[in-house]
């Protein structure tokens, strides 16, 4: 029998996250990705926005190496399954591969906010929104 935990990441910071919806009683975790924060040079405004979103979610907040923190959390919860949602990030795929060395990872699909198959620079919300608003408000 599977005993899951939910991994919430930055590409689905919503109470409507399918992993949270499908596993409402499972412990959930968010990990501040120190390496990503440094690499992308995320500013205080964006970090504050993310934190405010997290306050609305039933998650334990940790910080550090994402895969290691998820595996530690899973061990603490005696879990054998990590449930999360899709992400276009290559970093996400790498983290999943790291976790899958020890546990099963179930990645749920997220209904896209809008249909688009071109490139969008996701380092700034304003760049994303500049493209998205053309599709959302058609």
Q: Which CATH class is domain 4-112?
A: alpha beta
Q: Render pLDDT for 16-75 as a digit per residue (tens, 0 to 9).
A: 999 999 999 999 999 999 999 998 888 999 899 999 999 999 999 999 999 999 999 999
Residues 6+ apart with CB under 8 A from 5: 26, 27, 28, 29, 70, 73, 74, 77, 79, 81, 82, 83
C-alpha–C-alpha distance, residues 36 and 65, integer Å: 10
Domain edges within the chain = 4-112
Using CA atoms, how far apart are residues 29 and 69, in angstroms rounded to an integer?
9
pLDDT on residue 137: 72
């Amino acid at each position: 029998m599977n005993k899951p935990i939910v991994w919430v990441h930055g590409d689905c910071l919503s109470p409507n996250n399918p992993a949270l919806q499908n596993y409402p009683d499972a412990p959930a975790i968010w990990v501040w990705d120190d390496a990503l924060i440094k690499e992308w040079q995320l500013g205080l405004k964006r970090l504050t926005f993310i934190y405010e979103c997290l306050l609305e979610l039933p998650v334990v907040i940790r910080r550090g190496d994402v895969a290691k923190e998820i595996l530690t959390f899973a061990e603490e919860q005696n879990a054998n399954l990590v449930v999360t949602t899709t992400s276009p990030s290559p970093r996400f795929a790498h983290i999943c591969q790291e976790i899958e060395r020890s546990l099963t990872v179930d990645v749920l699909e997220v209904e896209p906010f809008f249909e688009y198959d071109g490139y969008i620079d996701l380092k700034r919300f304003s760049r994303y929104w500049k493209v998205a608003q053309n599709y959302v408000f058609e």
